[in-house]
Amino acid sequence: MRTPIRAVTPESSTAEIAGWVHEIRDLGGLVFLLIRDRTGIIQVTIPKKKASPLVLEAVREVSRESVVRVTGTVKAIEKAPGGRELVPESIEIISQSASPMPLDVVEKVPAELDTRLDSRFLDARRPRVAAVFQIRSTVIRAVSEFLHARGFINITTPKVVAAATEGGTELFPIAYFDREAFLNQSPQLYKQMLMAAGFEKVFEIGPIFRAEEHNTTKHLNEATSIDVEVSFADHLEVMALLEELVIHCYSTVAESCSDQLAQMEISGFEVPKAPFPRLPYAKAIEIAAAKSGEKIAYGDDIGTVAEKAIGEEMGSHYFIVDWPTLIKPYYAMPSEADPKVSNAFDLMHPRMELASGSQRIHQHNLLVHQIRSKGLSAESFEFYLTPFRYGMPPHSGWGLGAERLVMTMLGLQNIREAVLFPRDRHRLVP
Ligand code: ATP
Ligand code: MG
């Protein structure tokens, strides 16, 4: 029976391990093989004079990153990783690795991101890279547990759709038999329809597709959205939920991923504190003008430069609230006090936007009016609009980018580092 490498302790007498040959060090009379599995690294020590001919032959033949199985006796030794080493009785080469490799797993020379992504399977053998995806998995689990515990149900909505969510140009057209179809840019319309179905609290963690032309460090063409919709709740309630969820994700990672954080050399991992400041849009563009010199006219979007300047000023997570109705999607509810402002918000990390949300319009007439005023045709939204005529509760929700959450949490420079196989303007393989 194979033992995970971490479970081999100085107290173990014998062990059988299996994993990849991380390093081979030939010191003349002694050869060290470092063997790695996903739990850790162990030193296998081969004294040339005492080792069996079969063991010596395997050591001569084996190349780095080959998969091997080793059985032997465990000895306590202070200098080796984990305070123990394995002296082999047998070494079986299960799968020999070709060399040279397209990417150096031990990373004496740091590789460019593109090279890493081309050979992601090798890149992900590096404990520091694997740690990102173990943490990402923990974040997704934390989200799911948090929402289930609050009575949400997990939904799955179609990714092949007939109409754009927001009518934008960011759509990938696809061939769907003899009809035109698109990859969905957001589950927005479907989660709203499920409010009409009486589900009240839904969430989805799934892919969104955006045909953004630009190549940036924070945009993907296929991203993962954590989407939430809640009936009988206003925007303030779902903002509080979002704030609590983000903090919960950080706390869960702090509690259960200390090894991975150490692997990534992240010290002093900080859990953000509630409440996140609420910054009105009008104040945000003032800060942007004062700090970056970028003048944003009221009603214009906040660009990357302005976003950075405001983030520096705020210093931690914050919300931008009181958005002009004009720049928010048609489904955002205009404020009763001043309809030029909508009950919409963005959750911001100092580096970038993490989530957008709002109270939604639940009145059929108003929704049709807003769709038309954005220059869209209400007819192409018939399937979405019909549910609003048969009993639609008031509701609110948001969409949170999973990659951006992980990227900002771990201080990754490029969003592509938070995705196993990123899709961008130039990358469709692997
Ligand atoms: P941005 O202005 O930063 O491009 P957005 O306002 O267009 O984002 P939304 O439509 O509000 O994005 O989507 C909700 C969330 O989904 C965003 O806040 C972000 O976290 C994530 N998201 C949206 N588009 C992308 C993308 N192309 N790549 C990665 N994440 C994305
Ligand atoms: Mg947004």
CA distance 24 to 34: 7
Question: 167 pLDDT exceeds 70?
Answer: no
Q: How many CB atoms lie within 10 A of CB 158?
A: 10
Give the three-class secondary structure for 198.
Answer: coil
Q: Kindly state the tokens that stand for 122.
A: 């090798």
In this structure, the residue with its CA closest to atom 31 of ligand 1 is 401
Work out whether the CA dihedral 127, 129, 134, 135 comes out positive or negative: positive
State residue 416's pLDDT score: 98
Q: Does domain 122-277+316-418 have CATH number 3.30.930.10?
A: yes
- Mean pLDDT is lowest, of 16-30, 39-53, 262-276, 373-387, for 373-387
32 — phi, psi (to 5°)?
-110, 130
Question: How far does residue 328's CA lie from ligand 1's centre (Å)?
Answer: 13
Q: Among the CATH numbers 3.30.365.10, 3.40.50.720, 3.30.420.140, 2.40.50.140, which is that of 5-95?
A: 2.40.50.140
CA distance 244 to 236: 12
In this structure, the residue with its CA closest to atom 18 of ligand 1 is 355
In order of 115, 139, 253, 413, 414, the CA distances from 119 in angstroms are 7, 25, 27, 19, 17
Which of 183, 198, 275, 262 shows the shortest CA–CA distance to 230? 198
Question: How far does residue 68's CA lie from ligand 2's centre (Å)?
Answer: 49
Q: Kindly state the tokens that stand for 245.
A: 């969820």
pLDDT in tens, 84-127: 999 999 999 999 999 999 999 987 778 999 999 999 999 999 99
Q: What confidence tier does 168 reach under pLDDT thresholds 50, 70, 90?
A: low
State residue 1's pLDDT score: 87
Angle, helices 235-256/127-149, rounded to nearest 10 degrees = 140
Q: What confidence tier does 313 reach under pLDDT thresholds 50, 70, 90?
A: very high
Which amino acid belongs to residue 286? E
Which of 35, 45, 108 shows the shortest CA–CA distance to 67? 35
Work out whether the CA dihedral 240, 244, 250, 253 comes out positive or negative: negative
In this structure, the residue with its CA closest to atom 20 of ligand 1 is 401
Question: How far does residue 344's CA lie from ligand 1's centre (Å)?
Answer: 15
Which of 204, 236, 202, 263 shows the shortest CA–CA distance to 319? 236
Give the list of residues 6+ apart from residue 203 with CB closer than 8 angstroms, or none: 143, 144, 147, 152, 153, 154, 155, 226, 227, 228, 229
Q: What is the mean pLDDT of residues 191-199?
A: 98
CA distance 110 to 394: 52
CA distance 247 to 241: 10
Q: What confidence tier does 338 reach under pLDDT thresholds 50, 70, 90?
A: very high
Query: Which atom of ligand 1 is closest in space to residue 212's alpha carbon?
Result: 27
Question: How far does residue 200's CA lie from ligand 2's centre (Å)?
Answer: 23
Q: Select the more confidently predicted residue: 275 or 377.
A: 275
Query: Which atom of ligand 1 is closest in space to residue 166's alpha carbon?
Result: 10
Q: What is the mean pLDDT of residues 12-34?
A: 97
Q: How many residues in total does the chain contain?
A: 430
Q: Which ligand has its closest atom nearest to the C-alpha of 348?
A: 1
Which of 84, 36, 25, 103 shows the shortest CA–CA distance to 59? 25
In this structure, the residue with its CA closest to atom 4 of ligand 1 is 219
Domain boundaries, the chain: 5-95, 122-277+316-418
Question: How far does residue 239's CA lie from ligand 1's centre (Å)?
Answer: 17
Q: Does 122-277+316-418 match 5-95 at the fold level?
A: no
Q: What confidence tier does 212 reach under pLDDT thresholds 50, 70, 90?
A: confident
